[in-house]
Amino acid sequence: MNVNADWPDIAFEPWKDTGAALHLYSQIVGKYRLAHTPWVNHSWHATLYVSPRGLTTGTVCDGGGGAAEIVFDFHQHAVVGTAADGLSAQFALEPMSVAGFAQKFTKLLQDIGATVQFDGRPNEIADALPFAEDVAERPYDADAVRCFHRALVQIERVFGTFRTGFLGKVSPVHLFWGSFDMAVTRFSGRGAPLHPGGIPALPDDVTREAYSHEVSSAGFWPGGGGIDYPAFYSYAYPTPDAFAKAPVRPEAAFFHEALGEFILPYDAVRKADDPDATLLAFLQSTYDAAASLGNWDRAALECNTGVPLRPRAV
């Protein structure tokens, strides 16, 4: 069995409580970005991004000098805020309550001259307490968080490579803090049937705008939500007939009937002789199933995988 050191072990059970806390902390920071950013199709304006140090909001149009950035620094285990006029502030990531995190984050925003504005309730988590009322202390496993970040760096890199093989509309590689998953989504260019909605603690109009057009979407969860291990996923909306029966690669991939999507355990990638090729096979074969069964105009939408310093052929 090969184990690639660049793909760390991130078994869900040992750090699930830390992961649950980090999920809620990411929602607080993500909601700050959401409150200050004009709406972009499919909620792309609200996401977080993987950075060499952790997760970042990117530039938010707020704060001293008219811009601010919030970073989860998983090397120094801190939340760092920086404004365009040079003001900066930070606080440590350590055991605390969600309410305590929200209080520290509020002070950080004030210290960098940013506007304290974010919704106080979690999204996409059933029966969750408002942030200010969630006072139970949560753990913080720094080693597990560091491993999680190392995994995200590898996943972002491979997802980014996969993203280049498409000329049509395709999302950035980004982290949705609502469901705490990395995702990259391709679009056929056609509209989709009205989504039924019903996602816990998420307005139906947000869901319906997100799925307003036909998609093949792939991503990564650290665990939870019906799968108690880290895993990659891939689904299509609307789901084509026979999608669940489509042949996909690698052998470890399977269709999860309850979730309605293909699943590939993270460990099947981590332990593969060639993790990049294994993950790319899953991304490509599940997309192939969605696009072929959904009758996408593949000749117009697809291209060779991009490489550095080589422009697209015209």
Instruction: Show Cβ contacts of residue 234 under 8 Å, excluding neighbours closer than 6 positions.
Output: 216, 217, 218, 219, 248, 261, 262, 282, 283, 286, 287, 290
6-33 pLDDT tens trace: 999 999 999 999 999 999 999 999 999 9
Token pair in block for residue 111: 């210290």
93-145 pLDDT tens trace: 999 999 999 999 999 999 999 999 999 999 999 999 999 999 999 999 999 99
For the four alpha carbons of 211, 215, 221 and 223, in that order, the dihedral sign comes to positive
Regions of the chain with pLDDT less than 50: none
Q: What is the pLDDT of residue 256?
A: 97
Cα atoms in the 13 Å half-sphere on the side-chain side of 237: 19
Q: What is the pLDDT of residue 4?
A: 75
In the chain, alpha helices (H): 12-36, 98-111, 142-163, 204-210, 266-270, 275-293, 298-301
Q: What is the pLDDT of residue 203?
A: 96
